[in-house]
Amino acid sequence: MKREPHHQPAGADPQDWQSYTVGELAKLSGVSVRTLHHYDAIGLLPPQLVRPNGYRLYRRAQLLRLQEILFYREIGMRLGDIAALLDGPDDAVERLSRHREVLAAQAKRQAQMLETLDATIAHLKGNRSMTPDDLYAPFPPEKQEGYEAWLVETYGASMTDAIARSKTAIADLPDGMEGAMDRLKSIESRLVEAFEAEAAADQSSLHDLLEEHRALMGDFWGRPCDADGVEGLADMYLAHPDFVARYERLSPRFSQWLPAAMKAHAQRLRHQT
């Protein structure tokens, strides 16, 4: 089928300026024609224009948008969440840069795990020796020190006292760190369930669960976690790639939903006072 005529600036990539029919785009991208029709029907990927004979035509903007849709589908993101993200305030460079940071953090973590797994397998087969330290290479105590240094660098010297107070508070917890982490795991598991049930981040029914999370953070910190604390913690979850990667492992896009839910909860707490 003949493509739409077009003009292209000197030095431009010809592929940037071609028009593609729905069949041609399906062949190019590996996405079925039926799926592209569905994306059009729900407003996720409308064509650039529709000819009088009903043929859809897609151009550079739509090809880039489809690529981004496929990036997010690859990590299991729901179509409604993808639409909200693509139509949100961030531009494509910001969105893709953030997504790259998440994938890079995950890839680095996975590479460390694979290296240690390969070494352990070789050790068990009698092909190499390992020390006890080698067994736990992906889980170094320096990682916690790195988090603490990042907190001080990001939030200022006052974090040094807060970290010291937190360590004392954790040591004094009646169920110890292990029990506290079990509580955290339970809370996060239920938050993931709410997220995967498509609860809105600002849904008031999340109040009790987010209050459990806030109370636990207060136990960790050795002081009450107020609305500002909840909001600051949400910002930290968004800012540090390890937290983003951790929450993405729990459920794709949970790393964005949880901070949004926490910030909405902080606003509710402020209105209560």
Q: H/E/C letters for each residue in 98-148? A: HHHHHHHHHHHHHHHHHHHHHHHHHHHCCCCCCCHHHHCCCCCCHHHHHHH
CATH code reported for the domain at 141-272: 1.10.490.50
Residue-range domain boundaries for the chain: 17-74, 89-139, 141-272
Please give the Cα distance from 177 to 172 (Å, whole number).
Answer: 9
pLDDT at residue 146 in the model:
54
180 vs 269, residue with greater confidence: 269
49 vs 164, residue with greater confidence: 49
pLDDT at residue 45 in the model:
96
Residue type present at position 260:
A
Assess whether pLDDT exceeds 70 at residue 6.
no
Assess whether pLDDT exceeds 70 at residue 2.
no
- pLDDT tier, 1 (very low <50, low <70, confident <90, very high otherwise): very low
Please state which CATH class domain 17-74 belongs to. Answer: mainly alpha
- pLDDT tier, 272 (very low <50, low <70, confident <90, very high otherwise): confident
Please give the Cα distance from 70 to 156 (Å, whole number).
Answer: 39
Please state which of the ranges 63-72, 96-105, 114-123, 158-167 shows the lowest mean pLDDT. 158-167
Please state which of the ranges 1-10, 30-39, 199-208, 241-250 shows the lowest mean pLDDT. 1-10
Please state which of the ranges 86-90, 102-106, 184-188 shows the lowest mean pLDDT. 102-106
Cα 36 from chain centre: 25
Please give the Cα distance from 26 to 31 (Å, whole number).
Answer: 5
255 vs 78, residue with greater confidence: 255
pLDDT tens-place string over residues 20-42: 999 999 999 999 999 999 999 99
